[in-house]
Structure 1
């Protein structure tokens, strides 16, 4: 016969917290950051804590009489055992000195109960018929991750400490004038404008179809991993792993991808492809092509990759193909939450996140086809969350007689911590490759 186990709790610690708050209300400023009402195991303790917090937030006096009156007004005084219960708790604590320590005990026991509750829910779902193991695993990871994030509370920090760290960074920048502070793209003009993609930044790159947006981010990922030796996570929601690698191979080898696709290779193509395999195979590029990946699953995979291999850059192709993993009121709200979540991942893992985005058809109806911010699909949240928003424009796509053939304009429309403007790159369509422009060659 299986006996029901009593969940972890410490009633003495709970009483000590409540008694200390009545003895010295000043400790509330630290205690209310550590423990929440739901952390209390016994309901009458929870109700008393709510009354104490309410009085504290209003700036009212806190003592036996005021707590009892607050509970009486809310109709909870008799429910908790009357004024005798409050009096007994108040008398049980001789000093408020260790109140924060007791509060941490209460919070820890609460976390243990939440872990037990979550594991029980997962176990129950495991017995349900038709429950997919992968979706159950994703849900379990999300539950644990939510609990973990709930424990991380960034408090205030003295400006003295922040100034010290800031000044050290300024000194390092001064000592290395002109050097990149972020992940390089190895596109000279772009890196000069951005100083490389910065840790914790969300970078959105958007364009209409056939502008080369997938090619551009693949080139950036490839350059960072092959030349910069940066571990890169590449989430492809539109193309398969094999298709992506074939593109990267053609780009690295400078071999026409149409010839590779049809098998119509030249004898001179084989040595180029063979040589390109070496640097690509040594690069730390990790590809995931899960269709419709959810925000929670992407976060979980990126976090695991960082722990196992290190991580310097995340690339997502593309944002609108992701799912939230739960029902949203509208598609616009879903994209907004995904956008906010990607910014959260960038901050949590302290890496730049590049997300491709679609543009709406409004571009096609204007005489000037250069994209602007309002062209972003579901633009409001993306515009607010992104640190950098960049557009790709190739004039030759719309104007066959353009004098800008083979040239792509990269428009930095938003740059939270730097300048905005445009840079030009060469675009070798047959190799799906962007390159630095040779100005001398162009003017010759």
Structure 2
């Protein structure tokens, strides 16, 4: 007779002592793992007496949460029958369980009748279910700890310690988040309340935003800010400035960070936010140089060549001191798998908080496992990024390359069909934006010097396009599509609001 059966047999009358007191260590002081046999017995009895109770605990419990395998089997059979709109009672379950060896050890089908006889009051069912669930999580924590210890003790070249740490973090976070997503249906009143709170947040910002501000007024007006759980794709051909724009937005969010008490009573970011930036192409130093060039108004090429004057160098150092407290965290690990990217994002949220995540760029992220085609690999990556956005409840901005077919058209303005390698990028994204600088293409159409008429026309067109860029919103689930004109200062790699002639003297903040 196994230990579980022995414990169950010690309570044949199925009385209801103080279960909460036993919840930590189990009903027997000699037990080494936390469990509560009596709680399991009485909850099962309540379900067999009144099947409606199952609906109250189904979102909390599944069969693997029961310590006694016989109880787990009874719960599984009852769940299956109730799901089919059939009665689950000691009589109806008898045919499915009378040959079960574990049930025979407990007295056979008569044990089901004893369970029903011990039924608790229906209002206490959720409390008993929570006790059983909490004890199951404790057992899983113990098992996870033993697993981590066993893997660490096994010195194997195929299992690097860093990989083990990532696996352990993933397992712990998954365990910590278990059950949070199973909210099921919610009343319309609750949904309306959430919508009103979101609208109130926008109203309190003077009709501005429900999401994080990008720091660019016209872009914010079009997007309403960066919304939690959204995946935003920022795409463009090389040299269009998509990394620069992503850096500008990330920096603007981090620089505006203010911590305080939110309207829901929780402490967190009341303005701006903590930003994570995965730079799979550029090093952290290169990204920092771009941000410092923008903040100090010193061209980055002068900084790289060391051609700064003493005054410029003092300005550069002063900007560095001002920005060192910005909550902007950069990870420049190359060829990062999507699973590790998710694990590191979770770790950052747990340790420092995380309000927005940037990935530069999507095609450099590796799938968790090799796929039979690049299309399937990119699909896994975009689905993984969307899952991160929903799981951490933050906006995720992922940069993406465009296919070369843009260069083969007379009209170089990008389209959704230009997204490289997979239609899943368009499908999974909540917002798709393109960075387009007509100046870049016009500059390469410069005519020969001796063709004075063509040169004059070209110069006039270049003057009209100089320092201008467009963010083209090709898809937006929450609002309109269209173009947002921006100013672009190439020497500082900085995007800013473009002041139109009719807006001269207008307050843009």
Bin the TM-score by the shorter chain: 0.7 to 0.9
User: By how many angstroms is 1:314 displaced?
Assistant: 1.9
The match for 1:202 is 231
Higher deviation after alignment, 433-442 or 241-250: 433-442
Structure 2 CA distance, aligned partners of 1:175 and 1:287? 31
Structure 1 position 123 matched with structure 2 position 179: no
Q: Where does structure 2 lack aligned partners over 5 or more consecutive residues?
A: 1-29, 259-271, 446-460, 505-509
Alignment of 1:427-442 (within 5 A): 427-440=488-501
Structure 2 CA distance, aligned partners of 1:240 and 1:247? 11
Give the one of 249, 255, 269 matched to 2:292. 249
The match for 1:225 is 254
User: By how many angstroms is 1:59 displaced?
Assistant: 0.8
Output one character per residue of 1:188-228: Cα deviation in whole Å (capped at 9) or x when no partner.
22122112222332211011111111111111112222356
Structure 1 position 19 matched with structure 2 position 62: no
The match for 1:260 is 303
Distance 1:273 1:94, change over 3 A: closer
TM norm structure 1: 0.87
The match for 2:240 is 211
The match for 1:424 is 485
The match for 2:104 is 81
RMSD (Å), alpha carbons? 3.0
Structure 1 CA distance, aligned partners of 2:201 and 2:216? 23
The match for 1:415 is 476
Distance 1:176 1:149, change over 3 A: closer
Distance 1:211 1:325, change over 3 A: same
Distance 1:276 1:82, change over 3 A: closer
Structure 1 CA distance, aligned partners of 2:39 and 2:203? 52
The number of equivalent residue pairs is: 437
Structure 1 CA distance, aligned partners of 2:234 and 2:349? 23
Give the one of 84, 89, 92 matched to 1:66. 92
User: By how many angstroms is 1:336 displaced?
Assistant: 2.7
User: By how many angstroms is 1:68 displaced?
Assistant: 2.1
Distance 1:103 1:438, change over 3 A: closer
Output one character per residue of 1:82-135: Cα deviation in whole Å (capped at 9) or x when no partner.
995232132233324243333333322322222222222211211222332221
User: By how many angstroms is 1:345 displaced?
Assistant: 2.8
- Confirm or deny: 8 A CA contact 1:21 1:96 kept in the other structure: no
- Confirm or deny: 8 A CA contact 1:204 1:355 kept in the other structure: yes
Greater RCO, 1 or 2 (C-alpha within 8 Å, sep 6+):
1
User: By how many angstroms is 1:392 displaced?
Assistant: 0.9
- Confirm or deny: 8 A CA contact 1:27 1:96 kept in the other structure: no
Structure 2 CA distance, aligned partners of 1:373 and 1:359? 9
Structure 1 position 37 matched with structure 2 position 66: no
Q: Which has the larger radius of gyration?
A: 2
TM norm structure 2: 0.77
Higher deviation after alignment, 275-284 or 387-396: 275-284
Q: Where does structure 1 lack aligned partners over 5 or more consecutive residues?
A: none
Structure 1 position 114 matched with structure 2 position 143: no
- Confirm or deny: 8 A CA contact 2:208 2:221 kept in the other structure: no
